Structure 1
């Protein structure tokens, strides 16, 4: 509670030890200075009629009070510099993960494995809106955590699709800004399996608090098995996407799916009842886009709108998910257009 978190990496523990060293030096120096100051105030107060000293200078004293602070600063600077050099040494990594931030989620891409996915907050809206009690990991739970292996050096490349974010996991002593148009680097080597949580630490908009970071660290064997599972899942997802495009879906099938997609990805801004939040997050109930031409609705959802917080969802959702959510938006909250968007239509519009 009153100390830096020790963390689970060698670097986080070095940072804590360095903090203890420098904090200890500051406490000792501060104690000496205040002891001498208060002693002088009390021992030489006016009521004792002190006689001032009759000397003008002392070369020896000046050398001592110059030399001691110099040695103290060197003693603190050497380990601090060595630690900073090691923190910035991103070479010889065993694994590279590209972390791309956007409002308000993370995308993780395993560069060598060719696997990528989005990580979204899963805390229920009922908890956020104070309808249900807060869970144990309130605002610190996601659908897809970043999975890392133990005992391997992992390099993080961070960037952003929109505004400045910052990826932070305190147990790793890693905090790196994600800046549009730039790629920053950091690294870690985790020794202990477990689940570690962090957050975005750069104010990035209305839902800044809804960008948790969750990292699941597994043994090397479990991690390699997970990589194989993800590759298989991607292959199956591709087959499922082809199957979804090969048939016609009914409104009764798409509406529940679309509602789930909407509540997961859209409701935070546009609200569960589709009423929106002012001009910035316009209402979808009776809105121009959801009740207008289907082509314009597809364009807006798939490609977003420049210079606004409306994201491009085409890279993030499947054809079936996009078809479902657009069908839902066009037929919920009294819109009742009767339009049913098919996955094949979405695929053709990509």
Structure 2
């Protein structure tokens, strides 16, 4: 009994500190996020329903715990040996057995009704205003707007110097990307979620959306955001070495602003195609290729093959001194374009432009002392890509 009293005194003694910390976090966040210790209400109707359901279940569990432990501790106190209590001897009590069967059943039914309503609403992807195909791959996201030709990859934008502790970490460390997903407010957006390689999980807490991205399968989710803003998430599945470097950033814009953004993306896509055709008819200097190639390599390749090109022994092959890089230019271009089945080397043909692939191959063949002197032009990459 003395030990139990000590434990209770410790718990009750720390309660004011916990409550103060909880309240302080809520005040600092401006009321948007209650605490890191609880679910967030989110910014959508569904996320609000999920939060309310969570709190309902929490309070039901608290009430049950209070009743059960109250009865238990009261019985332990009133019927302890020091008061001369004698243990009762009984085997069966039909009324008690009926009670502890019926009461939990009724509680579960009471909990199941709102839970089923929320789950049904979460899975209702019918009649969307727009659809976005979300494809995960190691370690980035690809977004394709199904009603237009706009599609792009979204990669981690946090600087390597922050990751290696050479620079001070930014406000959104590991939760920032170069190209966020943009959606309109006030419209139902359906997500078709899949993967190119391993299992990923697309998770945005403020939307109450968390869906696995399985290779060969398509899962569906949806959201309807009422307030413009920037909403962050990340891959919630252990998908490999750089699992922690696969953030999700969604920007919700007013419909008029979103339409303007979409028009800009379509115009940029048209210009990119024109630029690609122009590049096919010209030759870039090695200085241009090396500068662009270094940028592309540090963004897309350095995570596996390392900034010094030496790779990770036994995991990712070195490019420095590699026989393929040093000798077989066609195979080098092909593996960057199409990847290599059964390995972590993915295809960059859809992710990088002809110019970027030509530049990074040129860079890899002339950096870190490789010095092959080879120059790869966009037309060389196009010839392999089209089989000409």
Same fold judged by TM-score > 0.5? yes
Aligned to 1:252: 287
Specify which of 70, 75, 85 is matched with residue 105 of structure 2.
Answer: 70
TM-score (structure 2 length as normaliser)? 0.87
Aligned to 1:35: 70
* Cα distance in 1, alignment partners of residues 98 and 241 from structure 2: 56
* Cα distance in 2, alignment partners of residues 92 and 176 from structure 1: 19
Aligned to 1:206: 241
* Cα distance in 1, alignment partners of residues 142 and 91 from structure 2: 68
Aligned to 1:3: 38
Shift, 1:148, TM fit = 0.6
Residues 156-190 of structure 1 show CA distances to partners (whole Å, capped at 9, x for unaligned) of: 11111100000000010000000010001111111
* Cα distance in 1, alignment partners of residues 95 and 208 from structure 2: 44
* Cα distance in 1, alignment partners of residues 79 and 116 from structure 2: 43
* Cα distance in 1, alignment partners of residues 52 and 335 from structure 2: 52
Residues 91-149 of structure 1 show CA distances to partners (whole Å, capped at 9, x for unaligned) of: 11111111011100100011112311100111111111111111111111111100011
* Cα distance in 2, alignment partners of residues 284 and 54 from structure 1: 79
* Cα distance in 1, alignment partners of residues 91 and 372 from structure 2: 94
Task: Name whichever of 106-115 and 211-220 sits farther off.
Answer: 106-115
Going from structure 1 to structure 2, the CA distance change for 1:114 and 1:42 (only over 3 Å counts) comes to: same
Unaligned runs of 5+ in 1: none
* Cα distance in 1, alignment partners of residues 294 and 86 from structure 2: 86
Aligned to 2:58: 23
Specify which of 195, 203, 216 is matched with residue 160 of structure 1.
Answer: 195
Mapping for residues 261-272 of structure 1, pairs under 5 Å: 261-272=296-307
Shift, 1:246, TM fit = 1.2
* Cα distance in 2, alignment partners of residues 132 and 59 from structure 1: 70
* Cα distance in 2, alignment partners of residues 54 and 44 from structure 1: 14
Aligned to 2:343: 308
Specify which of 358, 374, 379 is matched with residue 323 of structure 1.
Answer: 358
* Cα distance in 2, alignment partners of residues 341 and 264 from structure 1: 19
Residues 16-73 of structure 1 show CA distances to partners (whole Å, capped at 9, x for unaligned) of: 1111111101101111111111111111112222356688766555544443322221
* Cα distance in 2, alignment partners of residues 56 and 336 from structure 1: 88
* Cα distance in 2, alignment partners of residues 81 and 296 from structure 1: 54
Mapping for residues 114-193 of structure 1, pairs under 5 Å: 114-193=149-228
Shift, 1:293, TM fit = 1.9
Going from structure 1 to structure 2, the CA distance change for 1:128 and 1:56 (only over 3 Å counts) comes to: closer
Shift, 1:75, TM fit = 1.1
Going from structure 1 to structure 2, the CA distance change for 1:58 and 1:276 (only over 3 Å counts) comes to: closer
Secondary structure in 2 matching 1:314: coil
2:148 maps to 1:109: no
* Cα distance in 1, alignment partners of residues 87 and 136 from structure 2: 66
* Cα distance in 2, alignment partners of residues 241 and 279 from structure 1: 37
* Cα distance in 2, alignment partners of residues 71 and 320 from structure 1: 66
Secondary structure in 2 matching 1:301: helix
2:332 maps to 1:291: no
Secondary structure in 2 matching 1:281: coil
* Cα distance in 1, alignment partners of residues 205 and 46 from structure 2: 11
Going from structure 1 to structure 2, the CA distance change for 1:54 and 1:168 (only over 3 Å counts) comes to: closer
* Cα distance in 2, alignment partners of residues 141 and 120 from structure 1: 8
Shift, 1:242, TM fit = 0.9
Which has the higher relative contact order, 1 or 2, with Cα contacts under 8 A spaced 6 or more apart?
Answer: 1
Residues 228-272 of structure 1 show CA distances to partners (whole Å, capped at 9, x for unaligned) of: 111111100001111111111111111101100101100111111
* Cα distance in 2, alignment partners of residues 55 and 165 from structure 1: 55
Aligned to 1:339: 374
TM-score (structure 1 length as normaliser)? 0.96
Aligned to 1:234: 269
What's the Cα RMSD here?
1.5
